[in-house]
Amino acid sequence: MSLRPTPPPADLVASDAARALAEDVGSGDVTAALLPDAADIAYLLCKEDAVVAGRPWFDACHRALDPEVRIDWRVQDGDRVPAGTVLATLSGRTRALVTAERTALNFLQTLSGTATTTAAYVDAVCGTGCTILDTRKTLPGLRLAQKYAVRCGGGQNHRIGLYDAVMLKENHVRAAGSLTAAIRAARTAQPALPLIVEVETLAQLEEALAEGCERILIDDFDAASRREAVRRAKSPPFDGRIPLEVSGGVDMTSLRDIAADGVDFVSIGGLTKHVRAIDLSMKLGPAP
């Protein structure tokens, strides 16, 4: 990746680490207390092909317990690594290294899992012009961390929460009486925020195109309707000015065909919801 994604603010990362360490350490690590509190070294090993994400959280966990720990990374967040890669070496106090190990790995393996999954979806649409988006289906308390991991994998973020974009769905249309009325009410209430409009029919698509918005989500369209939606959105007088997004029920078996139909975005909840952690380990001693 040419541009490295920017992680969340350091104070947020430190807060995440502190909360997770408190959960694990509690009143004290009674097992690490059996070890001599001496200087030691360790290395971090990735046991499978992966895209790395989560360095700031890994570092924060270790530095919370040993501010003098030295962590020498051999890779950057966003790097693709093969199985067997030594990601980093560490120098610090034995007890702190051991106590921080599991919490630090939990962050790194979870976020690397999100990045690795995202990269697979990004690879699947390569050359189509389609962009992979995440959703709000994140692990509670880890939204900004997971959304950072999506960027590490080459995807982009949908809205961060309920506050940074207006998204109209069927309930809003029902309450307003029509899609056009719902769009106009949203523009009046929140003129400075991006407006995303979900449509369920081609007739609603025409309404959204005519009224204008930042993005149109074509929900549960079959293949023929989806292609017709793309044709209408990219034809005069609209000329592709409003991008189309597909969401819901997308997996690897259908993704390429959907992207090839010409939609601009595909949003996938499974990037952050169906997390499979990457197999990592940290071992005391010199790196092999």
Residue 66 annotated in active site: no
Residue 283 annotated in active site: no
Structure tokens at 146: 């997971």
Catalytic residue among 24, 200, 219, 228: 219
Residue 198 annotated in active site: yes
Catalytic residue among 80, 136, 169, 187: 169
Catalytic residue among 24, 48, 80, 102: 102
Catalytic residue among 40, 59, 198, 245: 198
The set of catalytic residues is 102, 137, 169, 198, 219
